[in-house]
């Protein structure tokens, strides 16, 4: 009998920090996502807040009012769906080339993880459809330009939601080309999302585009910095340099974290394992060129900067 196709590995989102390396891994495809039981419970509880506001006839911004200058305008209950859908349509105003499918996967996965916190008031059935689109690789076309970033990635996230509503354009997972969103969803057995009260706002009020692209940039930067440390160690080895400049006692006197990371990495790579080391054992050299002996101080700044950026992205 032919081998059964392997089920894709499932990643459970719980609203906690998605590390940049995890996000980049999700962008590559071949993985499925779901929420942890605790996350599903938080989402359900969060929705009860919205439902209770409506049931009690209260007025709350973005739930049953207009937006911005129209925040004082109360919207009738029979118009709440139209209000949310029009919010998505009106903000789908991005321009330029589409994000790559990899970056769109990051955007979709990260937005799902934020919704998993249970603070947004989205319904569980809406989030289920959100996850199903990721797992079926049904990715909305999201133009690269149009976000204001610090005030929210409203335009990119609106395009993301628009495709899931069966409007606009979507990447066809069968062909890799771009097609009509409604037709792509139908071809994969998915229904368009029908928005309830507050859900349009819930899907777009965040900064997941700049976070996704930042995570990718951070991973690239960390890899480059790591390669630079390795290149320095290799250079020292072939030039028969000395490892004295990387002694831990030296770097403990001015203990910048990144500086110590580089020094420790170079020391580890210069362990006496190679024929070159055995030929000289780093003896007879007073000191090496500045660009070699001070690599920890120079490379270390990059490691420190990356650590700072990682802390911001994690929050």
**Residue range 172-231, pLDDT digits in tens:** 999 999 999 999 999 999 999 999 999 999 999 999 999 999 999 999 999 999 999 999
Whether 200 and 231 share a structural domain: no
The predicted pLDDT at position 281 comes to 66
- pTM for the full predicted model: 0.88
Has residue 3 been placed in a domain?
Answer: no
Whether 46 and 162 share a structural domain: yes
Region of residue 281 (left: phi > 0; alpha: psi -120 to 50; beta: else): left
SS3 of residue 37 by DSSP: helix
The predicted pLDDT at position 3 comes to 52
Whether 270 and 178 share a structural domain: no
Establish whether 290 is a catalytic residue. Answer: no
Whether 276 and 230 share a structural domain: yes
Alpha helices by DSSP H, 56-191: 80-91, 101-115, 124-135, 154-164, 181-187
The predicted pLDDT at position 25 comes to 92
Which run of H or of E encompasses 210? helix 208-238
Has residue 216 been placed in a domain?
Answer: no
The predicted pLDDT at position 50 comes to 97
Q: Are strands 95-98 and 143-145 parallel, antiparallel or unpaired?
A: antiparallel
**Encoded tokens for 99:** 């994000």
Among candidate residues 261, 210, 199, 273, the one with its CA nearest the CA of residue 232: 261
Has residue 174 been placed in a domain?
Answer: yes
The predicted pLDDT at position 73 comes to 95
Has residue 4 been placed in a domain?
Answer: no
Low-confidence ranges of the chain (pLDDT < 50): 1, 4-5
Catalytic residue among 61, 148, 257, 312: 61
- CATH code of the domain covering residue 59: 1.10.275.10
Region of residue 263 (left: phi > 0; alpha: psi -120 to 50; beta: else): alpha
Query: What does the alpha-carbon distance between residue 205 and residue 38 come to, in Å, rounded to a whole number?
Result: 23
Instruction: Report angle CA 67, 14, 46 to the nearest 5 degrees.
Output: 40
Residue tagged 């409203």 (tokens) = 154
Whether 85 and 197 share a structural domain: yes
Has residue 48 been placed in a domain?
Answer: yes
Write down which residue in 206, 241, 268 finishes a domain. Answer: 206
Whether 229 and 159 share a structural domain: no
- 67 DSSP assignment: S
The predicted pLDDT at position 94 comes to 95
Whether 159 and 264 share a structural domain: no
Write down which residue in 206, 240, 273 finishes a domain. Answer: 206
| Number of folded domains that form the chain | 2
């Amino acid at each position: 009998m032919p081998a059964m196709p392997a089920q894709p590995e499932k990643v459970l989102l719980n609203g906690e920090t998605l590390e940049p390396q995890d996000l980049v891994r999700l962008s590559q495809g071949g993985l499925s996502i779901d929420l942890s039981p605790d996350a599903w419970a938080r989402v359900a509880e969060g929705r009860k807040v919205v439902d209770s506001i409506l049931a009690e006839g209260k007025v709350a911004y973005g739930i049953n009012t207009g937006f911005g200058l129209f925040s004082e305008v109360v919207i009738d209950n029979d118009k709440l769906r139209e209000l949310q859908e029009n919010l998505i349509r009106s903000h789908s105003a991005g321009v330029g080339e589409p994000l790559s499918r990899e970056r769109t996967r990051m955007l979709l996965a990260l937005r799902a993880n934020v919704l998993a916190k249970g603070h947004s008031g989205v319904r569980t059935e809406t989030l289920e459809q959100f996850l199903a689109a990721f797992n079926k690789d049904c990715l909305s076309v999201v133009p690269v330009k149009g976000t204001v970033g610090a005030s929210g990635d409203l335009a990119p996230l609106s395009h993301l939601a628009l495709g899931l509503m069966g409007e606009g354009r979507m990447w066809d997972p069968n062909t890799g080309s771009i097609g009509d969103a409604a037709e792509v969803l139908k071809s994969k057995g998915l229904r368009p999302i029908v928005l309830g009260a507050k859900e349009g706002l819930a899907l777009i009020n965040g900064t997941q585009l700049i976070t996704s692209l930042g995570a990718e940039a951070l991973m690239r930067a960390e890899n480059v910095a790591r390669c630079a440390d390795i290149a320095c160690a290799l250079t020292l080895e072939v030039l028969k340099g000395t490892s004295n400049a990387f002694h831990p006692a030296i770097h403990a006197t001015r203990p910048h974290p990144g500086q110590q990371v580089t020094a420790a990495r170079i020391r580890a790579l210069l362990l006496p394992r190679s024929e070159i080391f055995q030929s000289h054992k780093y003896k007879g050299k007073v000191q090496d060129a500045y660009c070699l002996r001070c690599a920890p101080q120079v490379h270390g700044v990059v490691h420190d900067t990356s650590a700072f950026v990682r802390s911001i992205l994690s929050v």
